Amino acid sequence: MEPSKIKDVGEAIRRVRKSRGLRLEDLADEGISPATISNIERGIAHVNSSKVYYLVQKLGLNMSEIPSILMEQEEELKDLKLTLDSIEAIISMGKYDEAMTKLEEIKIEDHHPYSAILHYIKGKCYAGMKKWNRAERSFSMAISLANQNRDQENIEAASFAELGLCCYRQNEIEKALEFTESGLDAFQESGGRGYVKYVLLRNKAVYLERLGRVNEGLRVIQEAWDQIDQIDESATVLNLYSARAELLRMAGQNEEAIKYAQEGLELSRRNKNYQCMFDMWTIMGSVYTSEVQWEKAERCFYTALASQGLLESEKALTDTYVWLGILYTEQKKWAKAKTYLEKAVTNAEAHNDAPKLTYALRIMGDYFKQQGKKDEAIPYYQKALKLARSYGYKKNQSQILFRLSQCYQETDRQEFEKCLLNMYEVQLETKNREADIFEEAE
């Protein structure tokens, strides 16, 4: 009997057994064991065909009845899939309690064809409720079941993507990157949910950008860009524009950064994506700041802030506040600079955004240091360093230690030398890790 046929017959056998309230042990005898029955029901290919026929006869069935049993099951599967799709839609509306109530009503076993999808959707619901541990357990279960149940919907890859987002939202960016790379490895081109590949590429680029790994991020963006015409989700396309513009800015390619920011701005305007519009205006403002075009920069930042009430989350405001602080610091408009930097710190703290809080604290330290107030700068640098160490932000650690060494250089030789030694150790560790990544790539 062909493996696909065994799978179909096995599903029909399980359905009949369950409908009669029989356990595996109730069907077992000297001719067939519970383990063999279980293998048949799960469609294990190496099962002896004679055992399959024996079990069918034992249930009082004819092989001719199998197609009608399977048709009934197919209808039930269609109904369940529609239910799961509707729940996933409810989650996208932010109605998590309603979605969880409906999810808890679905009772299926782990071998069910949709068990992996069920756990994946549960994970998305828990993530929306910020119940991270439960979300991570659900996604891990979805990955395990997808491997067991012939994953044809890329649930494994999608679950890795969601695990990455869970880590990212908890400020564990290195871990987020690892899960995302696992998702790309697991993605099947011939499977469903084709958009997942581009979500993974987009997320990988964003995580690399947050870690300051600019060249790697640009390579990932280019990989996605080569296939951008195949991406049918406008939000993903717009996020790729945003990530590309920001990475180009970080790489010092200002003209290219402005080009992609303007293209992304036009796309986001047509799609009424206010979050992306906000991001693009902020990126353009940051580029103009670095080019000492103060008026253009200020106009861009205030245009970004005009969309404040339309944003999905005010978490993104931190970037704009920081850049306004930098802009006014460069112009020595100290009072305005301090106002916006304090807003940046407060906003990052309110949203538990460790990467942006680290950056905002560092810039606040720069604000005082540029005025010669090194004693006032040190506490901000120390807070930023503590955060960077806590979450393993190596590049940030090196930048902050350098600034601290400048503050201590003339006043505390011991602290000055300690900062330099720590900075050397961080840079050495970073270079060793980059060498390992390069070897793996080869």
Q: Is 172 helix (H, G, I), strand (E, B) or coil?
A: coil
Q: Which of 223-232, 375-384, 408-417 has the lowest mean pLDDT?
A: 223-232
Report DSSP state, residue 41: H
The Cα–Cα gap between 23 and 133 comes to 34
- Condensed to tens digits (0 to 9), the pLDDT of residues 325-344 reads 999 999 999 999 999 999 99
Give yes or no for a contact between 232 and 195, defined as CB atoms under 8 angstroms apart: yes
Across all residues in the chain, what is the average pLDDT? 88
Report DSSP state, residue 15: H
Whether the model clears a pTM of 0.85, i.e. scores above it, the answer is no
Cα dist from 177 to 170, 200, 385, 388, whole Å: 13, 10, 22, 17
How confident is the model at residue 5, as a pLDDT?
A: 64
Rounded to an integer, the average pLDDT of 8-14 is: 75
- Condensed to tens digits (0 to 9), the pLDDT of residues 88-135 reads 999 999 999 999 999 999 888 887 788 899 999 999 999 999 999 999
| Residue 100, both tokens | 């969880």
Give yes or no for a contact between 353 and 318, defined as CB atoms under 8 angstroms apart: yes
| Residue 57, both tokens | 């006869």
How confident is the model at residue 433, as a pLDDT?
A: 61
Give kind and range of the element (H or E) at residue 128: helix 115-128
Q: Is residue 353's pLDDT more than 70?
A: yes
Cα dist from 434 to 42, 393, 395, whole Å: 45, 14, 12
The alpha carbon of residue 441 and the mean position of all alpha carbons in its chain are separated, in whole angstroms, by 22
- Condensed to tens digits (0 to 9), the pLDDT of residues 177-214 reads 999 999 999 999 888 888 899 999 999 999 998 888 89
Q: Is residue 435's pLDDT more than 70?
A: no
Q: Is residue 441's pLDDT more than 70?
A: no
